[in-house]
Amino acid sequence: MKRFVLAIGLILIVAGTLSLIYVREKTLNLIYNVSYSEEPLLKELVNVPPEDYVCYIVELNKGEVILVSVVVVDILKYVDVYVMDGENFNKYTKNWGFNARIERLNVNNTIFLYAAEYTGEHYIVIENKETDCNTVSISITPVHGVFLTEISTYVTISIACFIAIILGIIQVSVVSILFLYKRLRRGKVEGEA
């Protein structure tokens, strides 16, 4: 029985480690194979009026990914950047409470990936809370080759492999400790006799 439990523990460790290595390589290949579109959807300098905003509406299908870059030309000035749906944009324009899918507050420059959670219009809002006009460079570029569902699948598998390794180590440790305990106990019993 001990050998069986020990063998299962060792198999868990080896299988978990090999699976973890394989999944890590697949995930890295997925991430490194990201390719950016040659042509950005949008790349321009825009003046954002004081205490106002500019909004860009981007039509995306569910799962499509874009790279958004916003840079304020004057390094001493800041903006807020939001990505939201139409309902929340309407709330935003009415100064009601809204929920942004992505929110970068008080930034001089920011860059982020955004994966569309639904098919339709996505609103990218640049808000200037300064009392002067802000000139901002914005670019929105489609990204191909990144599928967040695949990455999350590999992350989940990695976690399962890690758990298998830990369980294997625990199993081997327990069997080893029991084996040593029995040996020590036998030694004491034989020594007393």
Per-residue model confidence as pLDDT tens digits over 134-168: 889 998 888 776 555 555 666 677 777 777 778 77
Residue with tokens 């009392």: 131
Ranges 110-119, 124-133, 176-185: which has the least confidence: 176-185
Mean pLDDT, rounded, for 108-115: 88
Residue 25 has pLDDT above 70, yes or no: no
Percent of the chain with pLDDT over 90: 34
Does the pLDDT at position 54 exceed 80? yes
CA distance 130 to 125: 15
Tell whether the model's pLDDT for residue 58 goes beyond 70. yes
Which alpha helices (DSSP H) does the chain contain, by range? 2-32, 86-93, 148-192
> Domain 35-144 falls in which CATH fold?
Jelly Rolls (2.60.120)
Task: Flag whether pLDDT at 59 surpasses 70.
Answer: yes
CA distances from residue 142 to 23, 47, 57, 150, 178 in whole angstroms, order as listed: 26, 24, 14, 18, 58
Mean pLDDT of the chain: 81
Domain boundaries, the chain: 2-32+149-192, 35-144
* Entry pTM: 0.58
More confident residue, 121 or 183: 121
Alpha-carbon distance of 171 to 166, in angstroms, equals 9
Report the pLDDT value the prediction gives residue 10, as an integer from 0 to 100. 75
What is the pLDDT at residue 34? 54
List, for residues 73-83, the tens digit of each pLDDT value. Answer: 887 889 999 99
Q: Report the chain's C-alpha Rg in angstroms.
A: 28
Q: What band does 178 get if pLDDT is binned at 50, 70 and 90?
A: confident
More confident residue, 3 or 98: 98
